[in-house]
Structure 1
Amino acid sequence: MPIATRAFAATSAEAPLTPFSFNRRDPGPDDVAIDIKFAGICHSDLHMVHNDMGGSTYPLVPGHEIAGLVTAVGANVTKFKVGDRVGVGCMVDSCRTCASCVEGEEQYCIPGFTGTYGNPDKHSAESGQPITQGGYSDKIVVDQAFVLNIPDSIPLDVAAPLLCAGITTYSPLRHWGVGPGSKVAVVGLGGLGHMAVKQAVAMGAEVTVMSTSDRKKADAERMGAKHFLINSDKAAMKAAAESFDLIINTVSATHEIASHLQLLARDGTMVMLGLTTEGLPVFAVPLLWRRRSVAGSLIGGIRETQEMLDFCAEHGIASDIEVIAPDQINEAYARLEKSDVRYRFVIDIEKLDLAA
């Protein structure tokens, strides 16, 4: 029997999010039913709600940073039991047969993974929903292969953003081999950037935060950054030339990056994580002169996401959050567009009230 679900949804690219009721599918043999307790607000939620990249379908329930408790499991489920603390990130399925999926890199599924919201839902016959609907809701049903264990030491509210922000930064730090002695710069101290700083410091790197002003310098130092660089300070930028093995660029707005390439050491890489919707000019000479690279990275696979959660638990890493009620979502969106959050909004789903 379908599960009645309450949520907040966007009904168009221009309309504010409003209360919305729909059905989740009844858990199948491989499914886990979850009562959602907290859901993070990711900058990509804004892009999807506003149809910035095209293809958004409405009504749309955003949210792919989900933390909650298991309420039911299917007959074939072996990884979870009722009462477990669990999370769901950006994916709820993939083809599971392509090379990327077989290698545990489901985020690079060749046909494309099934996003937690806004993608065609292969279970639409059971739920009545043509697209997947996300975590700004009180319940969700997910195949056990795409559910994560949240360690007991991480409170659910600060755990929620780890399911996207946490893995988005952890994956490139691991892929590019960050460890003791590494010199890492993080561009932008926001939802992604503050996680990159904490994780890189825990891995043993010497971390520099790059920003447009010094208003977050104290926060960066509190998180373990050794240096703070204002990227409009030409003298400071020149002095920092050829300093970094890796630059994690988390900025989601269109911005100048060509000058940042001079900061990379030989064989250094700048990894782009922000969902910018316009081109960013890059020139060949700074790249070839020191064999530098500009690269991209997209979340992480399920195995690596669990590794990240365990790493954060081991090192006492959590997101810095501002908890809001569901009826404050539109206000949070407006503030997020102005970068007015330190450093992640998290919705307290237990306060969901459709009368709001």
Structure 2
Amino acid sequence: MLDTQMVRRAADEQLPFVKETFTQLHQNPELSMYTKNTSALVQQQLRELGVPFEIVGNYSVIALLDTGRPGNTLLLRADMDALPMDEAPQNDKGPKQCVAQVSGAAHTCGHDAHTAILLGAVRALCGMREKLVGKLYFVFEEAEETGGVADIMEQYFADIHLDCAWAIHVYAKLATGKICVTPGQRMSGFGGFAIRVNGQGGHGSRPDLCRSPIMAAANMIQNLSNAWISQRDITKIVTLSIGSIHAGTKANIIPDCCEFAGSMRYFDYEAGKQAMDTLIRVCKDTARLYGCTAEVTDCEVSRNIATTAPETSAFATACFLPLFGKEGLADTEPWYGSEPFAVYCRHCPGIFAFLGCRNEDKGMTAEHHNPHFEVDQDCLQMGVEATCQYAANFLHDFKPQN
């Protein structure tokens, strides 16, 4: 167990490294399953610290710090991947502190902060390893945005005893200087779909001789809006969005097909599954009305709903009150973004903390996945402190429920 002053000093010592690492990762973002250089940076740090590790998937890193002393086992996880988009050089008020130096990729969700924070915590915890007990798994995941290694990670830890899994996510709706460890569902489940509407193309002057997949798709989307009101349990929220639609090449040519794709979010898996069944039925039935067919080319209803267990929430609150005070702890509503953290919690309680990174004075107010999104780097130290304090206390003091 570490006292708060020791944790704060350790985080202070690591802060220059954490900020330098954050800047390096932010300027050199890498997409899911292609995080070669990011993974290499993590591996180099682990080698220098003498922490054994292995590569899982393409570039994911799993390391183990075994103190050799009896205690709990805790998994600490960070994600490494960026998004396939270009970053704006300005936030909501002015120029950013640093900007991606490559095109087509950007850390507009905050995974660069997560990796930098966990590396800082690894360095701090290794520096105090003689005061620790139990085992610590450090996981650096390569494809959170796509869930590309979720199944691999679940399989890897299926037969490994874990007492808890921990992750931090920076949160644009929460002010810097605050952290949320509220119990319950924290991030939603994800349902993804893609529909190919097959019709019969032809000249735009004779639509009667064609079967327009565009008209069919347009009415599918309209009918889905109605179905979400009248054909679902309205007491269980399931959001629906259409993110892309593609068809045709010229104004006077009716194409043979039209494709559209979208996503759903939910906090009840059965409600999500029923909503997907409704979506597919509505699309197929509407297609028939227009002499077309609807082909489901992609369909996913994930069970992964990131959740903080009541017992880990209470333990974290007790850890953080002496460190951050009541003013540092916040409650937030569940976030409708999705992520696969739940795969680590199939057989152990989890804690998914939200770390405030919003600073209105600096213009750091844009939402995640927005080109103007920017993490307030002043939040990084709190992330390291929280991770180290929770880890040290958990390994020594947490009493797992049988």
Q: TM-score range by the shorter chain?
A: under 0.3
Structure showing greater relative contact order (alpha-carbon pairs closer than 8 Å, 6 or more residues apart): 2
Task: Please state which structure has a larger fraction of its residues in helix.
Answer: 2
